[in-house]
Amino acid sequence: MRVYQSLKSKLFPPRDKEFSDKLKTLMLPMIFQQLMTSVVFIFDTIIVAGLGDEFLGGSGQANLLTGLMWSGLYAISSAGAIYAAQYWGKNQDLTGVRKAFTATVFFAAFISIPCFIIGFFFRDPLMSLLAKDQATRDAGSIYLSIMSFSFLFWMVSSMLSSILRATGNTRVPTIASAVSIGINVLMDAVIVYGFLGFPRWGIRGAALSTVIGSAVDLFLLIVLSRRAKLPITFSKRDFIRPEPKLLKEFIRAAIPLLSKDQLWHLGNVVYSISFASLGRAATAAYNAYGTLSEILHIAFVAAGGAGGIMIGHLLGAGDIEKAKEYSSRILRLVILSGIAMFPVFLFLRRVFMLPFPMLSDEAVTYTMQALLLISTVIWARGINFTNMNGILRAGGDTLGAAAIDVGMLWGFGVPLILIVTYWLKLPFWAMFLVICIEEVIKVFISMARVRTHKWAKQLV
């Protein structure tokens, strides 16, 4: 009985209304935005999958470059958000927030522009590296020739959205994202297959709709933030050169994040190439799973992001003990959510496959195997994301997060997947099992790091 009461008190502590209200205010718009983003990814995947396995595989492999760019932008925006959240928590220091914004845009350019150059000018050599099947390579090259232009819009919009959210303004990024995604979906629906009198553009249409959607997103962010008179509106006054000390601290926080996210994504590129070695069906299946995983992780992404902002505000205000308490509450919420989601995703695997009627039987079998395995470790994914991208980042412990993520991926996951794929030549499910084992081991390491409370410090 005592054990039960002790466990109950740890998992279900007394309700904190202030915590609940703040978490809802920040988390619900993030869930909505993540849901919309996931829906458009799924819709894009469904549309492209209808063209054939080679088109789904080609766009998926081409988007490895997009993922590499986004991992860099996410690292830069996260570093900026760390300082923007703490500046905002420190008596709403607007000058400090603007300095953080300036730094993010500057460094984002060093990520997006090179990725655009590679995607547009060197797409054929890139696809030769990423895909084994020639038809898949050709489809990916066509996709990148158009899709790469969206990188230039995301370079700015992702930074602006991140800083606005760090100051507690989630409404404008959500509205801008909703409208741009709606346009993306509508364009996909008519120009990929040539409905309503529009020309049939195929995979070119899927890429073009993404570019136009990203342009609309940036346009609306600027217009709506100015109308609402938000702290950052992408006007001339928002660009304040950071002093050398802040720039040095920003770089110190950004470099581990950037290194971690880039190395993490490169590790996933190794995973993707390994699965692609099994052929066209396995390539399509791995990319279909990647799209569906966006849905699986929505709540965790929102909880980690919202929790990180809340903890950042408290650390900026110097309330260290309350920040520690909030970190425990967020983790409890994530653990319980992960446990509750397990049976849902376990038994609804076939429902998740309904949007992909055009996939080959072999590709469907592979995707079902991936969903079965990932459902058993969804709780671990949630804990790791919250620890790495929420709690540790909020306090600037980016080096600790980087060491855990990159160390596990390159010290355990990558070597094992290469052995399983090219030496032992095991089937798809055995290769995917490597990903799941890595997540479980990482839970114990990340929790140990969080419990040291080395992240719980004021940075500004």
pLDDT tens digits, 404-457: 888 888 989 899 999 988 888 888 898 889 888 998 999 999 899 988 888 877
Instruction: Please state, rounded to an integer, the average pLDDT across all residues of the chain.
Output: 81
Q: What is the pLDDT of residue 13?
A: 59
With b for 16 or more beta-carbon neighbours within 10 A and e for fewer, the 353-363 pattern comes to: bebbebbeebb
Looking at residues 149-169, what average pLDDT do you find? Answer: 88
321 burial type by CB count under 10 A (0-12 exposed, 13-18 middle, 19+ buried): exposed
> Which stretch of 21-30, 100-109, 400-409 has the lowest confidence by average pLDDT?
21-30
Q: Higher-confidence residue: 339 or 29?
A: 339
What single-letter DSSP state applies at residue 423? I
Q: Of the spans 176-180, 253-257, 264-268, 279-283, which averages the highest pLDDT?
A: 176-180
Reply yes or no on whether the pLDDT at 203 is more than 60: yes
Q: What is the pLDDT of residue 7?
A: 47
Reply yes or no on whether the pLDDT at 151 is more than 80: yes
Q: Higher-confidence residue: 304 or 434?
A: 434
Q: Is the dihedral of CA 192, 198, 200, 205 positive or negative?
A: negative
Q: Of the spans 145-159, 250-264, 314-328, 337-351, which averages the highest pLDDT?
A: 145-159
For the chain, percent of residues with pLDDT exceeding 90:
9
Q: What is the pLDDT of residue 220?
A: 93
CA distance 70 to 74: 6
**C-alpha gyration radius of the chain:** 22
Q: Higher-confidence residue: 397 or 295?
A: 397
User: Helix 320-347 and helix 361-375: axis angle, to 10°?
Assistant: 140
Q: What is the pLDDT of residue 10?
A: 52
284 burial type by CB count under 10 A (0-12 exposed, 13-18 middle, 19+ buried): buried
**E strand or H helix that includes residue 215:** helix 203-227
Q: What is the pLDDT of residue 3?
A: 43
Reply yes or no on whether the pLDDT at 37 is more than 70: no
Reply yes or no on whether the pLDDT at 391 is more than 50: yes
Tokens linked to 99: 């300095």
**358, HSE (Cβ side, Cα atoms, 13 Å):** 13
Residue closest to 138 by CA, chosen among 351, 280, 30: 280
Reply yes or no on whether the pLDDT at 130 is more than 60: yes
411 burial type by CB count under 10 A (0-12 exposed, 13-18 middle, 19+ buried): exposed
Q: What is the pLDDT of residue 4?
A: 41
For the chain, percent of residues with pLDDT exceeding 70:
91
Reply yes or no on whether the pLDDT at 209 is more than 80: yes
CA distance 46 to 129: 25
> Which stretch of 155-169, 215-229, 249-263 has the lowest confidence by average pLDDT?
249-263
